[in-house]
Amino acid sequence: MLGGSYKLITFDCYGTLIDWVGGIRHGLSSLLAGAGVSVSTDALYEAYLRADAELEKPPWRSYAEVLQQAVVELGRRFGFEVNEHNRRALVDSLPSWAPFADTNEALKRLKRRYRLAVLSNIDRDLFTHTARHFAVDFDWVVTAEDVRAYKPAPHHFERICELSGYGSGDMLHAAQSLYHDIVPCTRLGRDCVWINRRGEANNTGAAPMAELANLTALADALGA
């Protein structure tokens, strides 16, 4: 069981609640199918991750712009034409990115006991599409568009305190990404749980309160 008298559980969305990797890889596969070049999806995905990380650095740009500019970078890298249609391949695929199988049942359990919030590197309008996949309504949603910054910058974590009126000790953050969430939480002294869906090694020095395989394990650990 996790200790602490938490009032609010905050979540990263894409990668923690939503299968971001599956969504990105499916979008990239569709892009590749129409590109007329021979590149593995794995190579395209690894190149996408590098482009995404660079594009999320200041100055801030919308996540829709990040996704589109990443496709432009991939076209340059792998030598395929980027037109208006395929430039939007990832943006247009995002509404279909699905929750993990455990997400909604765990959220329903947690909602009975806690207030819930999303802290996400996303645009408001894009999250509206994703919200339709969830079986609960979140009490608060903080997007990159709201704070004009992307995690691991601290702005999301600061804004949720302002919106909710809760102190950092009243909150527990749950996330899959070490880089975007667990490392900054550790730096800020925030309680956090690593949802290690992909069985990764933690070589960052970040210290989550617990490492759990999925959200079902989180609901169990919180006695929800």
Domain extent listing, the chain: 8-19+99-221, 20-95
Q: Which amino acid is at 177?
A: S
**Beta strand ranges found along the chain (DSSP E):** 8-11, 115-120, 140-143, 171-175, 192-195, 210-212
pLDDT range class, residue 41, cuts 50, 70, 90: confident
Collapsed DSSP state (helix, strand, coil) of residue 34: coil
Kind of pairing between the strands at 140-143 and 8-11: unpaired
Other beta carbons within 10 Å of 122:
27
Q: What is the pTM of this model?
A: 0.94
Local structure of residue 97 (DSSP, 8 states): P
Alpha-carbon span 165 to 159, nearest angstrom? 10
Return the minimum-mean-pLDDT range out of 37-51, 64-78, 103-117. Answer: 37-51
Residue of 149, 194, 188 lying closest to 15 (CA atoms): 194
pLDDT range class, residue 40, cuts 50, 70, 90: confident
Position 39 pLDDT exceeds 70: yes
Position 122 pLDDT exceeds 90: yes
The partner residues of 195 in beta bridges, in order of sequence, read 212
Q: Domain 20-95 class? A: mainly alpha
pLDDT for 20 equals 97
Decide which of 3.40.50.2300, 3.40.50.12780, 3.40.50.1950, 3.40.50.1000 is the CATH code for 8-19+99-221: 3.40.50.1000
Tokens at residue 1, please?
Answer: 């069981």
Catalytically active residues, by annotation: 12
Position 1 pLDDT exceeds 80: no
